[in-house]
Each structure stands twice: as structure tokens, then as C-alpha cells.
Structure 1
Amino acid sequence: MTTSSPSHMPPADTVPDHPVHANQFALLRQRRFAPFFWTQFAGAANDNLFKFAFTVMVTYQLQVSWLPPAMAGLVIGALFILPFLLFSATSGQLTDKLDKTRMIRFVKNLEIAIMVLAAWGFWRADAAVLLGCVFLMGLHSTLFGPVKFAYMPQVLQPHELTGGTGMVEMGTFLAILLGQVAGGLLVALPGIGHTTVAAACLGLALVGRGVAQRIPMVPATDPSLVINWNPVSETWRNLKLAHGNVVVFRSLLGISWMWFFGAVFLSQFPSFAKEVLHGDEQVASLLLVVFSVGIGAGSLLCEVLSRRQVEIGLVPLGAIGMSVFAVDLYVASRGLPAVPQMGLRAFLAQAAHWRVMADLALLSLFAGLYSVPMYALIQMRSQPTHRARIIAANNILNALFMIVSSVLAGALLGAGFTIPQIFLITGIANAVVAFYIFMLVPEYLLRFVSWGVSSVAYRFRIRGAEHIPAEGPAVLVCNHVSFIDAVLLMAASPRPIRFIMDHQIFAVPVLGWLFRLAKAIPIAPQKEDPTAYERAFVQAVQVLREGDLLAIFPEGALTRDGSLQPFRGGVVKIVEMAESHGVHPPVIPMALTNLWGSFFSRVERRDGKQVAMARPFRRGVWSRVGLNVGAAVPRAEVEPVALHAHVTRLLVA
């Protein structure tokens, strides 16, 4: 996240400027975020207290012939997400058309009414009434979903979006944890369990409505929108709207797959605890504790690991971890001896169970790393007037994927597969799906490589990142020190960058493949290949006409001694050609510092020859490098000598 822009910034009359804060927890002291956070926290806790208490009740306490215990979690989960499929399109329209705060308060009023009915169902131990309330609470969450993610971009600055999204995801899963633990414990209270659950659900609904009254008013983004009440045609329209932005749409698919993945595990925990781990209700609650804490920890880590920008490079890292620990969970849980049902203390006394819990914790931590950047990317890159409808499209896809998840898991159970085997299949499928998505959207893989290099190979510090435009075309001008300069620039910008690069670098193993994947523009000297030379400029101008970032290393080649070489005139030619097409891109100077002499730069040997990528530890491990970014250069100074002077000043800044 970088400097403000009209599409990302909150309107000036709704959210005042706020000083830069140390971390995302500072948002909990601000009215623009805290009441909203606690409102969604109470709602998520209530959803899960209710659902899990009901699931435990039909798994361990009631004998309902038409709802066998092994299928209870799947049926309840599918019924809860059905309204997302039916009503998300209408919900997205209402959220774009109406004041966000008005929508939130209406949803909280609805929650109170549903919990009154649920309280009656618990008191009578009526499974049919409670199944109806599951559907209604799914409707409650369907209405709240678009508000949840459309509200934040209107009240948070761009550099706060990853942290705010991480806080909400952490809060959601902490609420899931507390709600499900409370639901499992309260429903098991002898004699008073059902009544206590009913009172707790109604109390949480009242608390959520009270806190919602403190949420500041946030204006509608598209008040003139005409509501289409036909859910079928509007659902199709929302999906087409989301499909209009390829990166956003495929991110929606990635998030939906994460919910498919998570639904398999969450729906099976009660049965997994009972049939595989031979534990009681408390053991089922412990699995949910471990899973939810892991998600929360991963969500909070995102802001630290992403340097307070939308870093989708964390997504492949998350996908790898999800698969690795899903497979290890299968290995850890197969072959556990059949023993009488254990309580929590007996369960924890066995070392084999600690490996199961470690797998669950790490699997869910990586799921947090996977999901938060995707959610933040969707919020940041969706058009503000259509943001809620894009999020509604996401909820529709989530519902479809979760329903398919429930059906497939049920089919596998019916075919004789064990729960650990289902976990194994899910982990392998996750690896296949993740690889497919990353090949479809190379930006994820490119960001992963750039994040890894800048975070692992080096200690990379960026100064002046706010000067990189958050939207619109711009030309980035930087010194050329090493073979991975482009990779480091990718890490510094939350937006994709197209590079003009010497054609010879495409012959370098691995790096050449990486730069081709990044759609870098090869350029050859005019004397060597005049056709390729001119074609590079035409492609560069097209990048700017499309509103994207273009980076160029105007020295024309890697420095041979670490000093800044004279600049060539390619930048001037690109800007003039762009201006002839009505595009006036700002030129942003940059300087990479302390990179000379590192593994990826050239170094002179004793025989006088220069080599690169030799002696990998000659600078030690995790050496410090930096990028200094300056303000846009005045148009009159967009010429080689003046640009050289700007970059020189940044080198010593």
C-alpha cells in the first residue's frame, strides 16, 4: 500500500487524517474501526456458538433418525451457507446503494429476532426449528458479508488495509474459537445446557446491536443504483462484473478454494475427535481452539511480513504450508490405537496427539497467510462503486465451493474413506489447485519470489515508498547494480511493474524465465537490432497507455564498479512518445543502495575479470540493502543529466 488515490482513499468528509501508527492494534483505539471490529466479532461468535452447540447436541446428545451424527456437521454447514448462494447478489446491491452503517444496524436487529426463535428451539430441543435458525443465521451473515469488506476501504488508509483486514480475520477466527468452545462447553452442562446456550446466543445478539450503534456513518458508494431483485440474473451479473478484472476474479477463486479447504476440516472436527482421536466434546473443542489460534496468528503476521503493503507474495507461501501440514496431519493421525473415549487430560497426555495439534496449528497459520493478502487485494483493486457487489460475487463463489466441499466429503465418507484420508486428499488437491492458480496469475508467483529474495536473502529497507503512485501510469527510473534489481523493485511496489531490460538477461538461467513470466520488455542496442529496439519503445508506451507502471534502468547495463554510469536518452523518448498519445506519466527516481558486491552483482576477480553469482556468502547472510524513492521529477528535468542528478542524490540520502 502506498500513497493515497481517489479509488483507494476514504472520502475526505467521512474519515479524518490519522497519524501513522506502530501496528494494526492501534486501530482498536479509534472509533472508525473499533465499534465495527467488535460488532463483527460478536456476530461471528454468536454464529459459531449457536452452530457448534447445535452440532454437538445432535452428535452426542440427541438421537435424530433423519440426522445421523456423522453427517450432522456437513448438513448444518451446508444449510448455513445456502443463503450465501441465494441472496448474496441482492446483499451486494443493498450494500453499494445504502449507508454501510444503516445496513449493519439492520443486520444486527435481524440477528436478535433469529436468536429469540433459536432460544425457543434449544429450550424444546427441537432439531427442525434449530435447522431453520441455521438457515436464517446464514442469511444474517450473507447480509453482513459485503458490508464487512466494503466498509474497511472507506475508513482505512491504503497502508492500513492489510493490517485492518488481518485484524478482522484474526477477530473472526478468535470469535469462532470462543463461540465454538463456549457452545461445546455450555451445551454439555448437565440439565441446564440448552437453556444456557439459548441465553448466551440472545445476549451476544444484544451486545452486537449495542456496539453497532457506535459505528460512524459511512456514505453509500452508489446511491443511484437500481436494485435488481431477481437473484438468478443478478448473481450472473455479479459474476460477470467480477470477471471483468482478471486478477481480482482469480483471487476470488483462490479465496473460495481456501473456504473449500477449510470447510473440509472444520466440518469434520467433531467426528474426527470422536472416531479417530477417541476424544470427547472437550477434545473436539480443543481442535477448534488450535485451528482458530493458528488462523489468527497467521492473519496478524501478514502486516509484519508484508511491510504494511498488500503483499500477495505471501499467498504461495501460505498454499505450500497448507498442503505440507494437511498431508502430515494424515500421517500423524492414521493408525492411532482404538481406546475408550478420552477426556481432555488423557488426550493431552499422549505425545502422538501433540503432533496432530501442531499440524493443525501450522496448517491454519499458513491458511491465514494465504487468505488475508487476497482479501486485501480484492478490496484495493475493486472499483469503489462496485466493491460490495464484487465481494458479494466472492460470497457466491465461496458458497458454491463450500457446498461442493460438503457434498464431496459426504460422498467420500459414504464410499468408505476415513477422515484422515479425506484430509490427505484435500492437501494434495490444494497443491494442484494452487499451482494452477499461480500459473494463471503469475503475479502471485512473481511477488512470492520478490518477497522471498527481499526478506530472506537480504534485509531490504524501503524509504519513500509513498512516492510510488497507487494508480495510474508512471515511469520508474533506477540505477542498475545487480541481476535482481527488478526483483527488488517488484518487492517495493504493491502494484505490478513492467520492466524494460537488456535482451541478454533473458539468457540467464532462472532469472530469464522469471522476467519472461513478468512480461519484461526486451531491448537490444539500436545498432545491433533496430527492429527490436523500436519494438521495445512501442511496447513501453502501450504499458503507460494502459495505466500501468513501467521501470527502466537508464544506464543501459549493469555497473562495472558500483558507481552510477551516465544515463541514456531512452526515458525521454518514452515520455515524449507517451505524451503524443495523450498520456502524461510522472517520472519517479529511485536508487538501490548497498547492493554492489553482493552475490547477484558483479565483482572483480584477481585476474581482472568480472563475474556475478559466485561465492554466495561473500557478503555474509541477510546483508542490508535499500531502496530510496524520490518524488516525481518536474517535467522540465526529464532529461538524462537532470535525472542522473536526482538518482545520485538518492544514493547518498
Structure 2
Amino acid sequence: MHSQFRLLGQRRFLPFYLTQFSGAFNDNLYKNALLLLITYSAGGLMGLSVDVVVNFAAFLFILPFFLFSGIAGQLADKYEKSRIIRAVKFLEIVIMALAAVALWFGWYEVLLVLLFLMGTQSTFFGPVKYAILPQVLADDELVGGNALVGMGTFVAILLGTIAAGLLMGYETAARLTAIGVVVMAVLGYLAARQVPQTAAAAGDLRLSLRPVRETWHLMVLAAERRQVLLAVLAISWFWFLGAAYLTQFPNFARTNLRGDETVVTLLLALFTIGISVGSMLCERLTGHRVSLRLVPWGALGLSLLGVDLYFSVPEAPVPSTWLTMLTDPVYLRVLVDLMGIGIAGGLFIVPLYAYIQHETPFGKRARLIAALNVINALFMVVSALVAMVLLGVLDFTIPEFLLSLSLTNLLVVASAWRLARVAVSPSCG
């Protein structure tokens, strides 16, 4: 058996990997830079408070997944995938060129419209991203390939977020961001041009351009096979949890750890490194086979480490920096728990993606991935609403909120055991 990293030296995988990495980086560079500019420079838009505008911006980015995933899934099944990837990446250059002009001149309302268009571009890339993998990878490479894509996505999110924060330290932050997003879009397109051709999955598929109806059809498609639907829901639950953790990090660091901005970056970095490590372990632990046996253990880790995180938060924190966090044993337990939660998340999610790709019919695969994207988006919206109710209305502290999620996750652990026992595919040995 070979290591998954050898895929990074092969044309069937590397150009696609670089394309998706640059896209995830650029999405987060642009989105976070825009949110920081609105927060610190614009002081609210259209007479609205900063809080309202920031949440509205997040809504604008996720809305296209509900509107256009049905159409995106059809296109990815009907047409040759490298052609779609190139078209989507060219669209990114156009959007980012317009964004560069708007950033240069401080046209924040235009930047919000372009954020919606970036979400649209991501919506059309999503189904291709995961549907192409089973076409270019062998069955015994599928877990490793998904692990690399998962790791790359989270590392790109981290680097894009950090880059946005670093750029805000300069007086010309908006103009530097303008240059950065265009350069990344061009690099992504150049990588996309090297993605090799694959066979169209369902060339005779008739396209329907009615967004709401097609989104509903995706839900029907997802429900066709119970085991696949459960795997889809499990992935979406992971994004529910992930969104909750990532959203709370800034306030958790400030309020519960009395940390400065460097502590927020450290928490984000360790969480991301954890997910990457967990993802990379999957191939070795599954013996290169498409198997769900790691999923219950990952789910159990999310609960146990989440509970321990609640008890590891110091009762009387002292002002801290990233160095305090790494050297003070009181804080070190918090960091170990967060990294462990990330590792458990990687073990949980990578086998699920590989299983869905492996078990879905070739001609419907992209549409099922599109359905998954819709449900992911829905779970992330619900995650934000639950956080608003528990933290804002019921006055939970952030540690109490995260503890409640960890305890709720025990239901997922029970479901994951049943799914792993039932969903044994021929390739699982």
C-alpha cells in the first residue's frame, strides 16, 4: 500500500487539489477581509448596526447553496467536469476583478452583492469537487484522496482567515486585499486548466432551471437510500458543530480565557491542525478501504472531549497571549481538548464522504453531493439560530453552550454505531 501523499505528485489529482485549495483560501480571504473592513472601517452600512451587517453578509454567502445547488448538481452530472471547473474558476476571476475595484474605492454595498456571487460560484464548484474524486481515484485511494481534500480545505480556510487578519494591520488593507484576491483567482484558474478530462456521468440528463423545485428534487434523491441519507445527515451534523465552534472562538477567547487576538488565531490553528491530523490518519486506520468503522469512534471523541473542554475552562482566567496558553498547564488542557476535538472530527467526516461517493450511482453522484451541500448549509443556519437562542435568550455561557452540543452529540454516537454496523460495502473487506 502506498501513502496518500503520492497523489500530490500525480496530474489526475494535484491540479484539482490546488484548484480547490486556492478557491477555499480566496473565499475566506475575501469574506473575512470584508467582515473586518465593515466592522472596523465602514461602521455599519445602510443605517444598520455592524452586528446586523456582519450576519447579513454571512447569510448572503450561504443563500446561493439553497437557491442554486439543484442546478449545480444537474450540470456536474450532465457535463464533463474539468470543463465546469474551468468555467467556475474563470467566473471567480471576473467576480474578484470587480471586487478589487469595489475594495479600492470602498464601495461596501457592491462588495456585499459580490459576496453573494462568490457564494454562487462556490455552489457550482461544490458538486464537482467531491463527484470527480471517484472518477480519478481507485477504491483503495478514495479515503486518502478525501483526507487530502478535507485537510486542504480546512488549512486553506485557516490561512485565508489569518491572511485577512494580517492584511487589516496595514493602512492600505483594502487595496492589498484587492490585489490578493485577484492573484489567487488567477492562480486557481491556471491550476484548473491542468485538470484532466473525465467522462460525463449522465450526458442525456434534461436540465431544469427551476431552482426551488430542483432543490426539492435533491432532497428526494438524498432520501432514496437510507444508509446514504444517514451518512449525509451525519456530515451535516459535523458542519453544525464545526460552525458553532468556529463562530464562538473569538468571544470564547476574549471572555472565558481573557485572551488577546493571538489566542483566537491559536484556537483556530489547533482546531484546524486537529482536523487535518484526524483526516490523515483515516487512510491508515481503515486499511485503504471504504469503511465507516472509524465514524462512531470519532463521534464518541467529539462528545467526550467536548465535555472535558467544559471542565478545563479556568474559573478565574488571567489575561493571556498565545504564549501563555502554550506554557500555562491551566490553559494547556483547553488546547489539548480543542485539538482532540479536531482529530475526532477528521476521523468522523472523511470516511463518511468516501462512503457517500462509493455508494452513490455514477449518474447521480454530483446531484447527491449538491443535496449534501444544501443540507450542510441548512444545518449551519440552524447552528447560528440555536446559538442565538441559547446564548442570547437563555443566557448560556459559551462553555455551557458547547457542553450542551457535546451531550446532544451522544445521540449521534448511538446512530453512528448502527450505521457502521449496517453500512458495510463490498470494498470494506
* Fold similarity call, TM over 0.5: yes
How far did residue 268 of structure 1 move? 2.0
Match of 1:337 among 317, 336, 346: 317
Render the CA deviation track for 1:12-54: whole Å, top value 9, x for unaligned. Answer: xxxxxxxxx6111011111000100110011011111222233
Look up the SS of the partner of 2:132 in the other structure. Answer: helix
Instruction: Show the counterpart of 1:151.
Output: 132
How far did residue 353 of structure 1 move? 2.6
How far did residue 350 of structure 1 move? 3.7
How far did residue 74 of structure 1 move? 5.0
Contact 2:299-2:412 at 8 Å conserved across structures: no
Letter in 1 for 2:402: F
Letter in 1 for 2:76: T
How far did residue 346 of structure 1 move? 4.9
Residue 370 (structure 2) pairs with residue 370 (structure 1) = no
Letter in 2 for 1:418: T
Structure 1 or 2, whichever has the larger Rg, is 1
Instruction: Show the counterpart of 1:210.
Output: 190
How far did residue 164 of structure 1 move? 0.6
* Cα distance between partner residues in 1 of 2:131 and 2:396: 41
Match of 2:155 among 163, 174, 184: 174
* Cα distance between partner residues in 2 of 1:424 and 1:148: 33
Instruction: Show the counterpart of 1:380.
Output: 358
* Cα distance between partner residues in 2 of 1:289 and 1:132: 30
Instruction: Show the counterpart of 2:377.
Output: 399
Render the CA deviation track for 1:520-546: whole Å, top value 9, x for unaligned. Answer: xxxxxxxxxxxxxxxxxxxxxxxxxxx
Instruction: Map 1:276-425 onto structure 2 (within 5 A).
Output: 276-333=256-313, 335-337=315-317, 339=319, 343-415=321-393, 416-425=395-404
* Cα distance between partner residues in 1 of 2:385 and 2:137: 39
Contact 2:274-2:339 at 8 Å conserved across structures: yes
* Cα distance between partner residues in 2 of 1:438 and 1:39: 32
* Cα distance between partner residues in 2 of 1:287 and 1:379: 32
Residue 427 (structure 2) pairs with residue 432 (structure 1) = no
Instruction: Show the counterpart of 1:597.
Output: none
More helix by proportion, 1 or 2?
2
How many positions carry a matched residue from both structures? 426
Render the CA deviation track for 1:272-326: whole Å, top value 9, x for unaligned. Answer: 2333333333322222211111111111100010000012010001101111122
* Cα distance between partner residues in 2 of 1:446 and 1:223: 33
* Cα distance between partner residues in 2 of 1:268 and 1:118: 28
How far did residue 399 of structure 1 move? 1.0
* Cα distance between partner residues in 1 of 2:257 and 2:178: 30
How far did residue 343 of structure 1 move? 4.6
Stretches of structure 2 that go unaligned for 5 or more consecutive residues are: none
Residue 66 (structure 2) pairs with residue 66 (structure 1) = no
Contact 1:56-1:281 at 8 Å conserved across structures: no
How far did residue 333 of structure 1 move? 2.6
Identify which range, 111-120 or 83-92, moves more after superposition.
Answer: 111-120
Say if 1:275 and 1:127 are closer, same or farther in 2 by CA, change over 3 A. Answer: farther
Contact 1:118-1:198 at 8 Å conserved across structures: yes
Say if 1:72 and 1:266 are closer, same or farther in 2 by CA, change over 3 A. Answer: farther
TM-score, structure 1 normalization: 0.62
Look up the SS of the partner of 2:369 in the other structure. Answer: helix
* Cα distance between partner residues in 1 of 2:200 and 2:144: 24
Instruction: Map 1:519-538 onto structure 2 (within 5 A).
Output: none
Contact 2:299-2:416 at 8 Å conserved across structures: no
Residue 73 (structure 2) pairs with residue 95 (structure 1) = no
* Cα distance between partner residues in 1 of 2:257 and 2:58: 22
Instruction: Show the counterpart of 1:444.
Output: 420
* Cα distance between partner residues in 2 of 1:99 and 1:75: 35
* RCO comparison, higher one (Cα < 8 Å, 6+): 2
Match of 2:109 among 104, 117, 128: 128
* Cα distance between partner residues in 1 of 2:109 and 2:150: 32
Instruction: Map 1:220-239 onto structure 2 (within 5 A).
Output: 220-239=200-219
Contact 2:230-2:419 at 8 Å conserved across structures: no
Render the CA deviation track for 1:116-173: whole Å, top value 9, x for unaligned. Answer: 2332343344543333333222111111110011101111111111111111111111
Look up the SS of the partner of 1:38 in the other structure. Answer: helix
How far did residue 427 of structure 1 move? 1.2
RMSD of Structure 2 on Structure 1 (CA): 2.2
Say if 1:73 and 1:187 are closer, same or farther in 2 by CA, change over 3 A. Answer: same
Residue 27 (structure 2) pairs with residue 47 (structure 1) = yes
Render the CA deviation track for 1:557-610: whole Å, top value 9, x for unaligned. Answer: xxxxxxxxxxxxxxxxxxxxxxxxxxxxxxxxxxxxxxxxxxxxxxxxxxxxxx
* Cα distance between partner residues in 2 of 1:123 and 1:275: 35
Letter in 1 for 2:264: A
Say if 1:394 and 1:205 are closer, same or farther in 2 by CA, change over 3 A. Answer: same
* Cα distance between partner residues in 2 of 1:281 and 1:120: 29
Say if 1:102 and 1:393 are closer, same or farther in 2 by CA, change over 3 A. Answer: same
How far did residue 78 of structure 1 move? 3.5
* Cα distance between partner residues in 1 of 2:305 and 2:277: 16
* Cα distance between partner residues in 1 of 2:211 and 2:23: 25
Say if 1:60 and 1:199 are closer, same or farther in 2 by CA, change over 3 A. Answer: same
Say if 1:443 and 1:347 are closer, same or farther in 2 by CA, change over 3 A. Answer: closer
Provide the identity percentage. Answer: 44
Letter in 2 for 1:430: N
Stretches of structure 1 that go unaligned for 5 or more consecutive residues are: 1-20, 451-469, 472-492, 496-653
Look up the SS of the partner of 2:206 in the other structure. Answer: coil
Say if 1:78 and 1:369 are closer, same or farther in 2 by CA, change over 3 A. Answer: farther
Letter in 1 for 2:48: W
Look up the SS of the partner of 2:428 in the other structure. Answer: coil
Instruction: Show the counterpart of 1:588.
Output: none
* Cα distance between partner residues in 1 of 2:182 and 2:42: 22
Say if 1:204 and 1:392 are closer, same or farther in 2 by CA, change over 3 A. Answer: same
